[in-house]
Amino acid sequence: MLNFMRNKLISVARKDPETLFIHGVLDDDIYGLEIDLQVRLADLTFLSIDGRWNRHTTPECPRSLEFLQAAVGFRIEDGIDQKIHKIIGRKSCRHFANLLIECCRAAGEAARIAAWKDAAAERPGLTFSD
């Protein structure tokens, strides 16, 4: 019987009042890769992106890193998944595209929490649902 396991881990930290830092890891039995992404909180625009291969299958895989820079300037908005699949998935690597999409989802949620915390600092007692 074949066994296969894939793990994805995304962590988000507020680097400064205007910037989120997102670190993503995809690790399975074949591939191991990481992404570091910085996103501006005001408009959820990618400020920088860096990728690393920890484990890959072909000599072509490391060449995909240069194509990640095409994502700098993307905004997390409706249609971002398709845009990432088209630009990063096709030119770079579908594994990086998949991980980047997960990073976007985490960044969107973190931005909502950051906005709530900023508003709660000005209006004590403000709940997240408010």
Per-residue confidence band for 127, with pLDDT thresholds at 50, 70 and 90: confident
State the DSSP H helix or E strand holding residue 40, giving kind and residue range, or none if neither.
strand 32-40
pTM: 0.89
Token digits for 116?
């709530």
Neighbours of 41 (CB within 10 A): 19
- Position with higher pLDDT, 73 vs 3: 73
Quick one: average pLDDT of 68-75? 94
Average pLDDT over residues 52-72: 89
Q: Give the per-residue pLDDT at 6.
A: 87
Q: Which two tokens stand for residue 109?
A: 């949620």
Question: Residues 6 or more apart from 122 whose CB is under 8 A from it?
Answer: none
On the CB side of 100, CA atoms within 13 Å amount to 35
130 pLDDT more than 80? no
Grade residue 3 by pLDDT with cuts at 50, 70 and 90. confident
- Helical spans, DSSP H, in 1-130: 80-84, 90-91, 94-122
- % of the chain beyond a pLDDT of 90: 65
